[in-house]
Amino acid sequence: MKAMVFVKAVVITGVFLLLVMIGLNNRASVDFRLPPVMADAVTQPAALMYFGFFAIGVLTGALLCIPTKSGGGKSGKPA
């Protein structure tokens, strides 16, 4: 179990390092358009957009990993 925690920590550190490198090397502004949701384009630095998309992905993954308490028709009695 401790090996899996170490692997996860290494992967997260690598992803954060990648985000820092993206932020340092992508300072040009880019346009983001999503016509069904926003009428106008949003112009931000590319690094900020990468960070925003990463944050949305992390939050989505965290929400998907939350355990739910669903019985699924089980009576709770051992067989």
pTM > 0.85: no
Task: Indicate the SS3 state at residue 44.
Answer: strand
Question: Domain-by-domain residue ranges, the chain?
Answer: 28-63
Residue 12: which of 47, 49, 61, 45 has the closest Cα? 61
Task: Indicate the SS3 state at residue 32.
Answer: strand
Where are the alpha helices (H) located in 1-79, listed in sequence order?
2-25, 46-64
Rounded Cα distance between 72 and 24, Å, is 49
Q: What is the pLDDT of residues 14-66, one digit of tens each?
A: 888 888 888 888 889 999 898 988 899 999 988 888 888 888 988 898 888 88
Rounded Cα distance between 7 and 26, Å, is 28
